[in-house]
Structure 1
């Protein structure tokens, strides 16, 4: 009966969703080209480069029709930057999360939220987190995590075009300073813009641009909400993907901050690669067709959970 229920949910969403604002490979590429441009110098927290990227994200949120909270789209915080071993004093810079929401339509369920997030920062010219011997070289971070940021914008645009079917509300967050120790997501959960008890699921996208020939989409945390493992497997296979679904395996990126607050999570990615944290993580290696498929997967996940009465509850994983 469980599988039948899941198929009915997915089928209903497929019938009702005819978006006028499609996720496209061209738009995904445009966003990544901007984020990985030499001008943006590896998207290091703080300074003029950070401000340029935040301005781009704020404009995109506004154009999509995402609403801002009272603080505006920016949630400002200070980040202590990582330093080389032996250096005691950490530089402190000003950066921010870019946050907005689309409100649901159900009188009760609109007070429940699903968070979709991705970090927009990277390593700048390398620093202590670099895996490369090349010093003072731009680390472009096309997959890590311009891919997640571009996916955030494209999925948000498509959700906005179908907001009339939403029951639950959706919060969109582009996190700052993830590479410095999940600082943006940690700041958000310590200074939430809605009560944490009302956040029912956080979906995080970190490195979603390098899908392999087997169409693997990896995720951790699917067991943190009811029937999550079966749900994600069934939906992924219906989209001709090969989902690698873990009930637990919660770690490694911004969703960890939410899980530590007893919030259900999904950490989505397309796998590691040897260009990780090196200057060679560039746009020419992005599989845009695959990235689009990941976006559709996440979009349909959100629409199924946000436009139905799907039971949501936190389930702790060992």
Structure 2
């Protein structure tokens, strides 16, 4: 009996270690399943659904061992919501970014940060940004951007398991109110938890769950840090994906807020699709093996840049 119990204990511990140190399709799926559940009603800023998602993200950050800043994981701000044409008064709600970090180990380089970000909000029941004629229908936002939020959690968990290797620190941000005009990232760069001068690269994931048969991973901003274009091409090809790398083409998601402040950026995605901003953007259409590959690609990008003493500085692409 003692031997059986010992075997069970060892098996449980090994599984726990595996689940913490490996990115898995099942964990990606379960994160997206929660985020796109009907009770979360499209993750609109403000209200009980927003609070439920934030609670989930905080719990995940804490469980995996991310550190919080003095005020905790939540960075609270007010968001002015978009309205239909002709409506003058915009409602204001309270929402937040969820922020955690891993401190690097090098005495000097730990004061430099790589940021990994993804927005967790979506369109709720539609509204002015919807591309559907269905009224008051839940816009689940599985790809946009439950996929990026799930990737954020999985990559963070794997980086925690490798934290002894990190020279630079890594900051993780789940942004609120991106769909309302990049409001979460705009608030963060105006109220950064670390000086912006210490952020050497910001990687943003927005719609990373629909990799096509050619295994394309698209990105803009690779020319904003030294050797970025060649680095991202070579690394992607070595991992079995086909990167479509742009030096500029910074694009329209949360990384733009950082770029406008002189921070090097990468905006990562797997391409558009007809379900964008409609109720049909659902979990069953997510390419889970493809998203896992994207996660591994971004994980390796961060690991290599956070363990290297190479200089990282901003290069303007305007």
Structure-2 residue corresponding to 1:174 = 174
Structure-2 residue corresponding to 1:131 = 131
Structure-2 residue corresponding to 1:313 = 313
CA distance in 2, matches of 1:83, 1:71: 32
Structure-1 residue corresponding to 2:53 = 53
- Report which of the two structures shows the higher radius of gyration computed on alpha carbons: 2
Are residues 1:193 and 2:193 paired? Answer: yes
Q: What is the CA-CA distance between 1:115 and the residue it aligns to? A: 0.3
Structure-2 residue corresponding to 1:215 = 215
Are residues 1:204 and 2:204 paired? Answer: yes
| Runs of 4 or more above 3 Å deviation | none
CA distance in 2, matches of 1:81, 1:178: 10
Give per-residue Cα distances to partners, 1:149-192, cap 9 Å, x unaligned: 00000000000000000000000000000000000000000000
Structure-2 residue corresponding to 1:251 = 251
Q: Alignment partner of 1:194: what SS?
A: coil
Structure-2 residue corresponding to 1:28 = 28
1:248-287 to structure 2, matched below 5 A, reads: 248-287=248-287
1:64-143 to structure 2, matched below 5 A, reads: 64-143=64-143
- Structure 2 alignment gaps of length 5 or more: 1-17
Structure-1-length-normalised TM-score? 0.94
CA distance in 2, matches of 1:176, 1:231: 30
Structure-2-length-normalised TM-score? 0.94
Q: Alignment partner of 2:96: what SS?
A: strand
CA distance in 2, matches of 1:19, 1:54: 22
- Structure 1 alignment gaps of length 5 or more: 1-17
8 Å Cα contact 1:19/1:162 also seen in 2: no
Q: What is the CA-CA distance between 1:310 and the residue it aligns to? A: 2.1
CA distance in 2, matches of 1:206, 1:113: 20
Give per-residue Cα distances to partners, 1:189-238, cap 9 Å, x unaligned: 00001000000000000000000000000000000000000000000000
Q: What is the CA-CA distance between 1:20 and the residue it aligns to? A: 5.8
8 Å Cα contact 1:19/1:161 also seen in 2: no
Give per-residue Cα distances to partners, 1:236-260, cap 9 Å, x unaligned: 0000110000000012100000000
CA distance in 1, matches of 2:240, 2:122: 31
Count of aligned residue pairs for this structure pair? 301
8 Å Cα contact 1:143/1:281 also seen in 2: yes
CA distance in 1, matches of 2:240, 2:157: 23
